[in-house]
Structure 1
Amino acid sequence: MSADHPPPSPILPSQPSPPPSPLPAWRIDLDRLRAALDGAARGWILDAVEETGSTNADLTLASRAAPWGDAGTLRLAYRQTAGRGRQGRPWQGQAGLTFSVALPLPLAPSQLSGLSLAVGLALAEALADCDARLGAAVGLKWPNDLQIDGRKLAGILIESVPAGPQRVWAVIGIGLNLVRDAQMEAALGRELAGVAEYLPALDPTTLLAAVLNRLAAMRAAFIAGGFAPMAPRWSARDAFRDQPVRLLHDGQVQAEGLARGVDGDGHLLLETAAGLERISSGEVSLRAVPAGAGGAPA
């Protein structure tokens, strides 16, 4: 077996072969995907399955017994039956790329501050690599979403698995809408965005390769210097910069003010009547203040 085709990952649970079925146009060609990877991403382990409960759960479980090394692992599923979004919300997302990557980071858990923002930035820059117009349209929503014109394009969920002193696996779940899903829009009660709005001749294999290449580069940069060097690039794509916003928890307003970007640790800078506050992501959600509503400092 050649070096370009490494053996199956020892950290992934075995899966029965899926029954033969016609492949939709957006299915991933793993051989072509590997050929499109460069740099550190060329050594990553790639895995795709027809269906699983949750790719994040798969990699979280598998990482506990994983041998330590430098290679990341991709786990992609065409359908997730127990997918989870932020704050434990159920999420399945059949209209897009739904996958997780496990990244070995020689860092302490306390050094992961800002990682979700770094991942979001990598994803946005990967979309720009594919199409400049798409890249220009994408905005980042603190702490872990991508959007176009206020419509959600992608979400990120990160879980960590300690692996010893100064060692942690970051298991990063990503859902990226390829097309707008009317059924999901109806269920969520909100409009969504899709990559196909800008890339009608969408090639998901090329798109996924761009994402993995950017994630590999992000991993190296994050290990070297954390999120701080990336903060200016993130702020340049901040969809809510200098806008009045509310922070909600379980539907209740926790704080209001003007969004003033983020600091080097990935905290939201919120200008309130009491001054500039630094907000950690925690369990709060950011929302725009409706037009005509108060709440922003004078």
Structure 2
Amino acid sequence: MPDRSTSTPISALTDDAAALPAWHIDESVLRRTLDGGAARDWQVDVVAETGSTNADLTQACRSATWDDARAQVRVAYRQTAGRGRQGRPWQGQAGLTFSVAMPLALAPARLSGLSLAVGLAVAQALEDCGAATAVGLKWPNDLQVDGRKLAGILIESVPAGPQRLWAVIGIGLNLVRDARMEAALGRDLSGVAEVLPTFDPHRDPTRILGAVLNRLAAMREVFLAEGFAALAPAWSARDAFRNEPVRLLHDGTVVAEGLARGVDGEGHLLLETANGLEPITSGEVSLRGAPA
């Protein structure tokens, strides 16, 4: 489905050892993993470099033939024009970065909670791979370990007809801590190497990607049938800020604060303030811990 003319094939970069990260996806192993799991019908495209995997799939979805069962996955070792929430640059070169164009026979209004469902699927996949450290979920679209960001999620949608759309899901998962990225962002990060006690950069990226895709495919079926409500208890069990004081910021300005009381069946944050319990939609706000 993606237009390969916008990306660089892996073979074109193999002469430059510095051009590729130390890890690689073993596509034959990945295919066997998917064939034995819920993502057996999904198609995976791995490239060395592209502008943005989300942009590639968003463009491809606009002319794609609808297939209710087949998602398209695009993995890139390097993204030169990736982006995150609120237009931020997508800092993914040091990690596993990929996008999934997921067909959903839903109206756009029924996408509420999808970013949380995706985060839950990624956390469960890491548990499937033997995570020995608790992975927390941060509303609405991050995973973290001990307060340090492990992964981020960005979702865009492409209409495909009445009650049909493609959810283009971008995921950036840090494999190891990157001091340069930490310095650029001004914050500490986490990496999968801290979560998996025997992390092997030659084997585990493929294993993790396969586990994530199979979990996403299983999540998709539940989400289509029951929405986020069926997944809310599992998400809440991993909620990194439940019952903690938090602040909500927009463009760096505090717009609300209170106690985080989990999420509802629509994926809204439940914030206890002086005015009572208020449901917060994700919108363009960011959640931060606050002094007690």
TM range (shorter): over 0.9
Q: Is residue 2:173 matched to residue 1:181?
A: no
Indicate the RMSD between aligned Cα atoms, in angstroms. 1.2
Match of 2:212, SS?
A: helix
Report the counterpart of residue 20 of structure 1 in structure 2.
14
Report the counterpart of residue 97 of structure 1 in structure 2.
96
Are 1:82 and 1:92, in contact at CA under 8 Å, matched by a contact in 2? no
Say which is worse superposed, 105-114 or 85-94, in terms of deviation: 85-94
Say which is worse superposed, 189-198 or 173-182, in terms of deviation: 189-198
Report the counterpart of residue 207 of structure 1 in structure 2.
208
Quote the Cα distance in structure 2 between the aligned partners of 1:51 and 1:225. Answer: 37
Are 1:79 and 1:92, in contact at CA under 8 Å, matched by a contact in 2? no
Report the counterpart of residue 55 of structure 1 in structure 2.
53
Normalized against structure 1, the TM-score is what?
A: 0.91
Pairwise CA distance, 1:236: 0.4
Quote the Cα distance in structure 2 between the aligned partners of 1:285 and 1:115. Answer: 17
Report the counterpart of residue 275 of structure 1 in structure 2.
276
- Please tell me the residue identity of whatever aligns with 1:285: S
Are 1:139 and 1:148, in contact at CA under 8 Å, matched by a contact in 2? yes
Pairwise CA distance, 1:12: 1.2
Normalized against structure 2, the TM-score is what?
A: 0.93
Report the counterpart of residue 195 of structure 2 in structure 1.
198
Any gaps of 5 or more consecutive residues in structure 2?
none
Deviations 1:243-264 (A, max 9, x none): 0000000011110100000000
Quote the Cα distance in structure 2 between the aligned partners of 1:195 and 1:132. Answer: 9
Quote the Cα distance in structure 2 between the aligned partners of 1:151 and 1:233. Answer: 21
Report the counterpart of residue 8 of structure 1 in structure 2.
none
Q: Among the aligned pairs, what percent are the same residue?
A: 73
Say which is worse superposed, 264-273 or 30-39, in terms of deviation: 30-39
Quote the Cα distance in structure 2 between the aligned partners of 1:159 and 1:124. Answer: 21
Quote the Cα distance in structure 2 between the aligned partners of 1:14 and 1:252. Answer: 41
Deviations 1:52-84 (A, max 9, x none): 000000000000111111101110110000110
Report the counterpart of residue 138 of structure 1 in structure 2.
135
Q: Is residue 2:106 matched to residue 1:107?
A: yes
Report the counterpart of residue 72 of structure 1 in structure 2.
71
Are 2:152 and 2:173, in contact at CA under 8 Å, matched by a contact in 1? yes
Deviations 1:136-159 (A, max 9, x none): x10000000000000000000000
Quote the Cα distance in structure 1 between the aligned partners of 2:21 and 2:282. Answer: 37
Correspondence 1:150-165 to 2 at 5 A = 150-165=147-162
| Number of matched pairs | 279
Quote the Cα distance in structure 2 between the aligned partners of 1:144 and 1:227. Answer: 14
Quote the Cα distance in structure 2 between the aligned partners of 1:40 and 1:129. Answer: 14
